[in-house]
Amino acid sequence: MRGKFISIYSLLISLMLIVTAAQAEKGKLTGGSAHDMPSWFKQSFLDLTEDVNEAKEEDKHVMLFMSLDFCPYCTKMLHDNFVVGAKNQKYIQDNFDVIGINIKGSREVVVNDELTLTEKEYADYLKVQYTPTIIFLNQENEVVVRLNGYRSPENFKLVVDYVKNKEYQNMSLTQYLDKVKNKSYYTLKPNKMFKDIKDLSKVKGPLAVVFEDGSCTQCNYMHNTTLKNKDVQNELSKVTVVRFDAMSKEKIITPSGHTTTPHDWTKEIKLDYRPGVLLFNEGKEQARIDALLYSFHFKELVRYVSGKYYEKYNTYLDYLKPRQDELLNQGINIDLSDKI
């Protein structure tokens, strides 16, 4: 009898532990931020052909600001560049008709005479991976520039100039930025995780190639905040990290075995954001960071590539939602903001 009592008691204790674990609090998701489109944005019926024609009458271009609710990068981009009083706001308003689009929205977008999609379908059609994504249309309703993610006021002004002055008729954005950007913002900083490797074809396993240069307005942030985050450091410890000056003419060999220079390589792949990061595994580029990412999204994109999660999920966004759910269900808090 006594033995049976102990067994039943042990079973009850085990069940209580299981129930207690199941009822453990989920982790909290913080760091998102609400935002509204500025009141001066065009109140469009989302017929882009009509919008382009109306803008053309005033020799303007159409700019599409594609965002997501509670996106911290959207809030920062709006605050730094678009809200009334921001450094570039009046210049943008004078030269562009800006239209807000929610990438999860259900409003119909008339892309052209042959194509009508919902906002979400349009975002899928454009393969939007970052928010904000900013699309510039020329006066023939063609996409001439696409920016993935946040840009500082200094860098965004250069892109706005490029479109406003129709420089896209003469050269690529990468060529234009190389010609006009201020190269005195930043001096490259050392970091013990950066390896001095010139022949990248010899690297086995996951590889991160970082590009910086003197025009970089976000490189100090990456060094002082992102790379000091313990979770980021942990993920990057599983990766070979190499850093190049994007203006360098020094000979290097890419993971595919192509001999080039950092300067030429960034032009070939049209990488115009600094600090830009190419993420390789199995000798192939699997993802890139060409926009501001705060620590959580940065380290998870590194994990997506180093852990070969691209084999299961076609895109980083496909991976991110179940990954967030996994962490929250484990009771791990997630902060989407820019805190270390």
**12-61 residue pLDDT tens:** 455 455 544 444 689 999 999 999 999 999 999 999 999 999 999 999 99
Mean pLDDT of the 219-230 span? 97
Rounded to whole angstroms, the Cα distance separating 18 from 110 reads: 53
Give residue 338's pLDDT.
87
pLDDT band at 209 (very low <50, low <70, confident <90, very high): very high
Q: What pLDDT, in 10s, does the model give residues 67-82?
A: 999 999 999 999 999 9
Mean pLDDT of the residues in the chain:
93
Rounded to whole angstroms, the Cα distance separating 228 from 288 reads: 20
- Phi and psi at residue 143, to the nearest 5°: -70, 120
pLDDT at 158 over 90: yes
Inter-residue contact 91 to 104 (CB < 8 Å)? no
Give residue 7's pLDDT.
55
Q: Is the pTM of this model over 0.85?
A: yes
The third-level CATH classification (topology) of the domain covering 48-180 is Glutaredoxin (3.40.30)
List all residues 6 or more positions away from 17 whose beta carbon is below 8 Å from its beta carbon: none
- Alpha-carbon distance values, 219 to 85, 189, 213, 293 (Å): 26, 9, 9, 12
List all residues 6 or more positions away from 104 whose beta carbon is below 8 Å from its beta carbon: 68, 69, 119, 120, 123
The token duo for 283 is: 């000798």
Inter-residue contact 227 to 193 (CB < 8 Å)? yes
Inter-residue contact 153 to 88 (CB < 8 Å)? yes
Give the whole-number percent of the chain exceeding pLDDT 90. 89
pLDDT band at 2 (very low <50, low <70, confident <90, very high): very low
Give residue 25's pLDDT.
87
Give residue 57's pLDDT.
98
For 52, counting Cβ atoms within 10 Å of its Cβ (0-12 exposed, 13-18 middle, 19+ buried), the class is buried
**Is the four-CA dihedral 180, 181, 187, 189 of positive or negative sign?**
negative
* DSSP code, position 38: -
Which CATH number is 194-335 given? 3.40.30.10
pLDDT at 105 over 60: yes
The token duo for 122 is: 């349009």
Q: Where exactly does CATH 3.40.30.10 map onto the chain? A: 48-180, 194-335
Mean pLDDT of the 170-191 span? 93
Give 112 or 8, the one with higher predicted confidence: 112
